């Protein structure tokens, strides 16, 4: 195993610890974590854009789109925290994070084990079709079980939502990868060893969180 792999594992431990602390503190403290994630992500985007010597129309539009998505992410997580009763609100937030991040992790492992064909080599050469399919399928099963425990969804709702979140997470990941390609950087930052910047870790939530909020408004809860 590479050194980067062990750095990823170590970082996961303290990220899980931080999330656990905020869940324990309750909904009133969750905006502090959400705000930190959002502001640090915007800072990374702006810094990457300003350090790019080759400013193009495409990179400018990608920057604006990314900032808009981060803003939507902040609003969506805040909405989930306070829209539902306190007794279940954090359960939905934890489920959303688990469904998204477990898909990321499993795509990484499936890609390392079985990956052969690049999904979109011009945007993200390391992401493979086998990794994406394996990650979505396995994480949707795990997430649907977690959803039954943490949320009020029934089994078929939890399973369908888990598949949607895992799939949309890939789109968010690819969008950030596209931005990094355009501004000619490898990682959005160095805040999280083994992962890169904050946005490298939460990119899959960019489309997941708004979609999950919309499903909640429509009554999928």
- Return the pLDDT at 98: 94
Question: In the predicted model, is pLDDT for residue 1 greater than 60?
Answer: no
Dist. CA 56–CA 62, nearest whole Å: 10
- Return the pLDDT at 34: 95
Nearest to 204 by CA among 12, 70, 62, 8: 70
**How is residue 205 written in tokens?**
């939530």
pLDDT band of residue 160 (cuts 50, 70, 90) is very high
User: What is the Cα 189 distance to its own chain's centre?
Assistant: 16
Dist. CA 123–CA 116, nearest whole Å: 16
Give pLDDT tens digits for 198-214: 999 999 999 999 999 88
Find out whether 114 and 130 touch, Cβ atoms under 8 Å: yes
Dist. CA 50–CA 29, nearest whole Å: 32
Residue 177 burial (CB count, 10 A): 19
- Return the pLDDT at 31: 92
Q: What's the length of the chain?
A: 221
Q: Backbone dihedral region of 194: left (phi > 0), alpha (psi from -120 to 50 degrees) or beta?
A: left
Mean pLDDT of 1-21: 82
Dist. CA 18–CA 171, nearest whole Å: 26
Instruction: Identify the burial level of 82 via C-beta atoms within 10 angstroms of its C-beta, where 0-12 means exposed, 13-18 middle and 19 or more buried.
Output: middle
Question: What single string gives the DSSP state of each residue in 92-114?
Answer: HHHHHHHHHHHHHHHHHHHHHHH
Find out whether 26 and 90 touch, Cβ atoms under 8 Å: yes
**Domain segments of the chain as ranges:** 3-217
Question: In the predicted model, is pLDDT for residue 54 greater than 70?
Answer: no
Please tell me the pTM assigned to this model: 0.92
């Amino acid at each position: 195993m590479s050194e980067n792999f062990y750095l990823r594992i170590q970082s996961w431990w303290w990220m899980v610890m931080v999330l656990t602390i905020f869940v324990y503190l309750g909904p009133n403290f969750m905006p502090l974590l959400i705000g930190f994630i959002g502001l640090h992500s915007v800072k990374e985007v702006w810094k990457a854009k300003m350090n790019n010597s080759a400013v193009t129309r495409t990179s400018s539009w990608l920057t604006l789109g990314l900032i808009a998505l981060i803003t939507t992410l902040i609003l969506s997580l805040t909405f989930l925290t306070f829209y539902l009763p306190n007794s279940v609100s954090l359960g939905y937030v934890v489920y959303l994070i688990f469904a998204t991040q477990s898909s990321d992790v499993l795509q990484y492992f499936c890609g390392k084990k079985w990956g052969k064909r690049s999904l979109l080599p011009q945007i993200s050469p390391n992401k493979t079709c086998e990794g994406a399919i394996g990650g979505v399928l396995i994480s949707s099963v795990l997430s649907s079980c977690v959803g039954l425990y943490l949320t009020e969804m029934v089994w078929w709702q939890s399973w369908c939502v888990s598949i949607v979140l895992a799939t949309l997470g890939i789109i968010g990941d690819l969008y950030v990868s596209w931005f990094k390609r355009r501004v000619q950087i490898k990682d959005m930052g160095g805040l999280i060893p083994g992962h890169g910047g904050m946005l490298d870790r939460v990119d899959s939530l960019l489309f997941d969180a708004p979609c999950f909020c919309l499903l909640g408004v429509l009554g999928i809860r």
